[in-house]
Amino acid sequence: MNKTTLAGISIVGIMALAALAAPWLSPCQPAQIDAGNILCSPSAGHLLGTDSLGRDVLSRLIYGSRISLSVGIIAVGISTILGVFFGALAGFYGKAVDALIMRVVDVMLCFPTFFLILAAVAFLDSSIFNIMVIIGLTNWMGPARLVRAEIMALKEREFVEAARACGAGNLRIIVRHMLPNACGPLLVNATLSVAGAILLESGLSFLGLGVQPPVPSWGNMLTEAKATLGVAWWITVFPGSAIFLAILGFNFIAEGIRKDLG
């Protein structure tokens, strides 16, 4: 394992552990209002300060990591599963199947992803579940094209011919012989996509179309910080830094995996 991968795993691992241990690590409940400590700067009582309602920023940041990381990972899981399924079908069967799936991919790619998500969110409830599903359903095209290219390159290889000669069916050949050989580039893509999904969720929440208050997420924490930006720097800096570090961590992991794959 190279140093880049180790650094990324360390950053993401610390955030994941903090998210899992949020009830024990958080000094306060994330929605707990303290009218006597409004806009307090970082201190011994509140390590990262308080916001305009007296809520502890550290507690909200830790609980917000649960939202941002879970949305990123689950949304990418949905998009990767769909991408693998349609990409494998297109690459293995080719001809009409390939043409149909790739035309759907081309149409989907014509629409700016962010505005497509905005349109979908506008018609649905802005729940965490809906955000995960919408991001997943609008980002499967990249994995599909990647898997298609890998399957097309592998399907004429000798080990595939040997499996077919032994009587293996198409499904077994795809799942047992082809996809394991295509998982390296797919893993790099998925890791990068988690960083993109976290940024996308934060952008939606910042615009008020993502996770809704009082549930804390890094994006809606930044939205709430706009009104006090000139007098309370910490309410903006710490959530922004958390988003930056999460994206940096996943990018480090992806770059490290890419280097290991050569």
Q: What is the CATH number of the domain that holds 112?
A: 1.10.3720.10
End-to-end CA distance of the chain: 13
Is the predicted pLDDT of residue 238 greater than 90, yes or no? Answer: yes
The CA distances from residue 50 to 32, 54, 134, 223, 244, in Å, are 11, 5, 33, 15, 21
Confidence of residue 262 (pLDDT cuts 50, 70, 90): low
Q: Is residue 166 part of a domain?
A: yes
Give ∠ CA 152-101-70 in degrees, rounded to 5: 90
Structure-token match 């955030």, residue found: 15
Please choose, from the candidates 92, 67, 79, the residue with its C-alpha nearest in 3D space to the C-alpha of residue 202. 67
Give the HSE-up count for residue 3: Cα atoms under 13 Å, Cβ half-sphere: 0
Would you tell me how many other CB atoms lie within 10 Å of the CB of residue 72? Answer: 25
**Inside any domain, residue 130:** yes
Q: Would you state the pLDDT for residue 258?
A: 85
Dump pLDDT digits (tens) for 207-237. 887 788 788 889 889 888 888 888 889 999 9
Residues in the chain: 262
Q: Is residue 30 part of a domain?
A: no
pLDDT in tens, 27-67: 888 888 888 888 888 988 889 989 988 899 999 999 999 98
CA-nearest of 10, 15, 8, 49 to 242 is 15
Output 70 or 1, whichever has higher pLDDT: 70
Q: Which of 58, 73, 53, 75 is nearest to 22 (CA)?
A: 58
**Which tokens go with 92?**
């293995």
Q: What is the DSSP letter of 37?
A: G
Compute the mean pLDDT over every residue in the chain, rounded to the nearest whole number. Answer: 87
33 secondary structure, DSSP code: -
Between 52 and 118, residue with greater pLDDT: 52
Q: Is residue 40 part of a domain?
A: no
pLDDT in tens, 87-109: 999 998 888 999 999 999 998 88
pLDDT of residue 134: 86
Residue 77 pLDDT greater than 80, yes or no: yes
In a domain, 27, yes or no: no
Instruction: Report the domain count for the chain.
Output: 1
pLDDT tops 90 at residue 78: yes
Q: Is 147 part of a structural domain of the chain?
A: yes
Q: Is 118 exposed, middle or buried (0-12, 13-18, 19+ CB in 10 A)?
A: middle
- Mean pLDDT over 235-262 rounds to 90
Residue range(s) defining the domain that contains residue 116: 3-17+45-261
Provide Rg for the chain, Cα atoms: 22
CA distance 20 to 80: 24
Domain presence at residue 126: yes
